[in-house]
Structure 1
């Protein structure tokens, strides 16, 4: 297993009633700084889902996992005449086995919020404590932990389990997309700053690179792409304040962030030259995170398909006002 990564300082986590726009801004800052921990997952996904489900929100950093598991009632109701044997329990306590793959920052989290299919045939959400899983270390392209969590007959007490509607499963998906988009917005800003600093200080033919017209044009494109991501994320952050209105803006933010990564990284590396590809280069640390985050939680194609289905389902006449907030 790889070396443990430091978790965010739990004392620095904002209170549960913090304004959503502030939470998104904190996630953007985490992306800008390359913060080593599940801050975006904690603030924008795990805690809101637990609150919506009526579960207690643990202190400290949290991660989120979804996927199929072997889930049974821990206390089977043997007197039930509904369904096959084991289809009902005397309470909602569960016995869980299986593997959750590529869970972000699991080794740095105090607990994991899990969404899966329950033994009653509908979705459930429950909380796993770190001591309840066995961990197989993994990482993304940027070296950030993406660990597999192996569960072996773990008993989850009823007070940590809730049956939830399908709408909460959808919310988990778009919240994860928004969290990644916020991280991408922060790292994109970092790429802009690093690139502008490099072209201003690097000299060729007796003048800074930034004085060449071709370089100016590419820098302008870089700033534009980063601004597009930031604007989309800020629009989604504003929508979070109004219940029920954030799903579509979150799709747009996730799609725009994923789409912009290729151009942001292309321009930043082109203007840095070979130095930007070295392993310890600050630009390398930012761009490998961008490539990794772009492909997580569905990727560009998945978010664009959601938007496309929204249009085809009869909301096309509302598309532009919804995108622009008009």
Structure 2
């Protein structure tokens, strides 16, 4: 079954690309892909063939507003959760978090906060934003695109960027479970590619460092959230998120439990059990139910061998050791 899905994915990707783009892309450095035949090195990161065309269109056409919010991540780092949290926080004046008709109860977070590269600019289209989220005062977007390759209007405007970062061990394991049924790679082959940086939108260390450095240099523009810290103390970081997005919780909201209610509404278990998240495809090629597996911290201990742990630990130390970016959860701090 894995090989069949792998072949179907390859055909689907190639059909979405114009002949002109195919010729340009085929001249790029390439490596074996995870769920498609190849990943191509574009602007310093690895990407599937169809996404390159979408990213180029996005870079050329997207115009950012000062009130825009861009939610960024490398895949399988808490993207769906961040979208739900940001949507609930920024729209709480329009949609009560206790309402039975709240959009998060009837729509997948990826439909409410669309990806630039998977949705808005996919299939060689250029979206019209004249009626974009007419119910929303802020435009919320999602992306896996590395910081240097964002549209210039995003980098130069006063719009806000929120990045969620997950420790590489769990990031790899979550990616493997997500793409495993769609790939012909073995676990060991996929792991080695990950350690070499050959993963969609990777190398992972370059992706993380790009947004990390921006958050340090321009903290008023970039907020860097750690997945593990958000899991450990969601209420504290929800308040950070709201303040950063210029819609802080009032004392009355805190007293009445609004922050706690948003936490509950957007919790992994609640989102996973919603009927809307058990069917359909809000992201091209991926069923919604596959977006919710465990959402745990430290699940890598159930998947990686001691040799793998040592290998990835060395990569992290080499690539991130010289930066101030640190993870609270590393192998030496966890029970083996």
Q: Which bin holds the TM-score, normalised by the shorter protein?
A: under 0.3
Which has the higher relative contact order, 1 or 2, with Cα contacts under 8 A spaced 6 or more apart? Answer: 2
- Higher Rg of the two aligned structures: 1
TM-score relative to the length of structure 2 = 0.27
